[in-house]
Structure 1
Amino acid sequence: MTATGPSGDELLRLLGALANPHRLRIVAALRAERAYVSQLARELGISRALLQLHLRKLEAVGLVSATLELSEDGKAMKFYEVKPFLVELSPDTIAAAAPTLSTPTPGTPTPGDEGERP
């Protein structure tokens, strides 16, 4: 992100990452406290595999971060926490970001357009 806001491609990636109900719930849950994968999966009622898929997407755009820690019994636990962020979405933000969009090659998805379903 620049001082004036995200580039067009960054904005698409951020919006794409947040355009899923599971990922919105993950960010909301991590807002309260950091959590490890199994704990968060139980809390949200989704499988660990599905949770990890969504966490990777959120981590790729910088909305969450992860740290690997050892429990008292020596088990590796990956903790996730939400990183502070603020994205202002307004006509002015979009107008500033639009000129910086990459020109897609025909047939290539644009950032944030993976064609996924919730």
Structure 2
Amino acid sequence: MTSEDLLAVLAAMGHGQRLRILAELAAGRMYVSELARRLGISRPLLYMHLERLEKAGLVLGNLELSESGKALKYFELAPFDLHLNIRTIRAALAADTDRHSDMQGNPR
């Protein structure tokens, strides 16, 4: 995990609605309309939050067809175990340095 990855996770989790989404999805996968109803928010707003959570690797989305042929977007929690301490921060910064060295063709 690089510092950019870590910041994406922290930013995604740094919003009350997104924490509520994660809590709802802890009960199991759910399609967007049902999740929007449970949270009392619009689907467009929910999609915005889900996109942020998905980019951070906290949720997974899958498009499926119902028996009637209607497309339903389901979301579920991705497995994650976040530990935030100085070791996590230092490891992310070290990964940045390693990645930068690899991009420059420099040996580590």
Give the alignment's TM-score, normalised by structure 2: 0.81
2:84 to 50, 69, 89: 89
**Matching of residues 16-35 of structure 1 within 5 Å:** 16-35=11-30
The answer to whether the 8 A contact 1:9-1:100 is kept is no
Counterpart AA for 1:42: R
**Matching of residues 43-58 of structure 1 within 5 Å:** 43-58=38-53
> Structure 2 CA distance, aligned partners of 1:76 and 1:32?
22
**Matching of residues 1-118 of structure 1 within 5 Å:** 6-100=1-95
Gaps of at least 5 residues in structure 2 are 98-108
DSSP-derived class of the 1:67 partner: strand
Counterpart AA for 1:30: L
Q: Equivalent residue for 1:111?
A: none
Q: How many residues align?
A: 97
Larger radius of gyration: 2
> Structure 1 CA distance, aligned partners of 2:96 and 2:11?
15
Over the aligned positions, Cα root-mean-square deviation in angstroms equals 1.6
Q: Deviations over 1:49-73 (max 9, x none)?
A: 1000001111112111111111122
Q: Deviations over 1:7-26 (max 9, x none)?
A: 21111111011111111111
**1:101 Cα deviation (Å)?**
5.3
**1:83 Cα deviation (Å)?**
0.5
User: Which shows bigger deviation, 65-74 or 10-19?
Assistant: 65-74
Bigger helix share: 2
Give the alignment's TM-score, normalised by structure 1: 0.75
